Amino acid sequence: MTNVKEVLGVFGSGSTHWVGDGFPVRNMFPSNGIEAEINPFLMLDYAGPKDFKPSNRPRGVDEHPHRGFETVTIAYQGAIDHRDSSGNSGTIRPGDVQWMTAASGVVHEEKHGREFTEKGGTFEMIQLWVNLPKSVKMSQPQYQGILDEQIPHSDLGSGSYARVIAGELNGVKGPARTFTPVSLFDIRLKAGSVVELSLPAGHNSALFLLKGDVTVNAAHPLTGEAQIVVLGAPGEKVVLESKKDSTLLAMSGEPINEPVASYGPFVMNTQEEIMQAVADYRAGKMGRLR
C-alpha cells in the first residue's frame, strides 16, 4: 500500500490515577514515553467510563493554573462545569468540545455538571494537551466552546462517520481554530466497515481507541478499551477495518521543533520560563477565581 502511514507501535495506558476526586483517568502519554513521536501533542488522559452515584457535592478539580499550551476536552458521557480567570464559563455536555488556549496563563476549575452531580450516571471524557509554538506561548488566553451541533460530520461509508473537530477531512472542515496545523477527528465505525482515512503527510499522527475492535493497515489490531497506535509522519492515509462498532479519536499535527520544558501545569521552552510561570501564578498574575 503506497502512501500509507507506518505503524510505529501499539500501546495501552502507561498509568492510571485520579485527577481530583472526579476524574479517574488512564494516561496514554506521556507515561508511555511516546511524546517525541506525537509532538505537538503533549498529553492524553482518558477519563472513565465510570459510574458515579448521585451527590449533593460536585466532584472534580479545584482552582489550578495552566501556561504555554492548550487543553482540549471532548465529552462522550456526563458533563463538566467550567469557569476560568478570563471570565469564561459553561457546561460541556456529550458531543461538545472545549478548546482552551492557556497561552500566557489562566486559572480554572473543572467540576461535574450540576445536573449530572444530582442524578449521577456514567462519566467518559478525553482531555488532550496541545503544545503552542514559542511565538504565541505568552499571548492572550482564548476560549472556544464548541457545541455538538457545530461539529460537522464526514461520511466514511457503511454507516461510519467522523466528526471533524479540527482540520479537514474529505472536504469537511472543523470549527476549531488552531495556531499550528492540527487535525482532530472523532470517529465512529460500524462493525464490518473498511475505511481509508486521510491524514496529512509530514504530520505526526496517532489513533486512540476508546472501545471496539479495529485492525490498522491490515496488520495491527486495536481491541477492547484504551489502546493507542502511533503512526509515522510520512504517508497520508491509514486503513481501518472494524470487527465491532468502534469509537476512535484520530489526531494529527505538524511537529513543533522547539525545546520543551515542563513542570506540572506549565509547558514552556526553558527552565527559566518555568520558574517565571510558578512565580507569576503565586503572585496572582494569571488571575483568580471568585
Query: Which structural domain, as residue segments, surrounds residue 203?
Result: 13-253
Q: What is the pLDDT of residues 109-162, one digit of tens each?
A: 999 999 999 999 999 999 999 999 999 999 999 999 999 999 999 999 999 999
Task: Give the count of domains, the chain.
Answer: 1
Assigned domain for 5 exists:
no
271 belongs to a structural domain: no
In this model, does residue 20 exceed pLDDT 70?
A: yes
Domain presence at residue 122:
yes
CATH code, 84? 2.60.120.10
pLDDT band for position 207 (50/70/90)? very high
Residues 161-200 have pLDDT tens digits of: 999 999 999 999 999 999 999 999 999 999 999 999 999 9
- Residue 277 CA to residue 218 CA, distance in Å, equals 46
Q: What is the dihedral sign for C-alpha 18, 23, 29, 35?
A: negative
pLDDT of residue 2: 66
Residue 1 has pLDDT above 80, yes or no: no
| 3-class SS letters over 12-79 | CCCEEEEECCCEEEEEEECCCCCHHHHCCEEEEEEEEEEEECCCCCCCEEEEEEEECEEEEEEEEECC
Name 106's Cβ contacts closer than 8 Å, sequence gap at least 6.
65, 66, 67, 84, 85, 86, 100, 141, 286, 287
For residue 283, tell me if it sits in a domain. Answer: no
Tell me the C-alpha to C-alpha distance, in Å, between residue 107 and each of 126, 195, 261, 286.
Answer: 20, 41, 20, 6
The verdict on residue 82 lying in a domain is: yes
Q: Which residues of 229-259 are buried (b: 16+ CB within 10 A; e: fewer)?
A: bbbebebbebbbbbeebbbbbbbbbbbbeee
Return the DSSP state at 260. -
Q: What is the pLDDT of residues 209-237, one digit of tens each?
A: 999 999 999 999 999 999 999 999 999 99
188 found inside a domain: yes
Q: Is residue 212 part of a domain?
A: yes
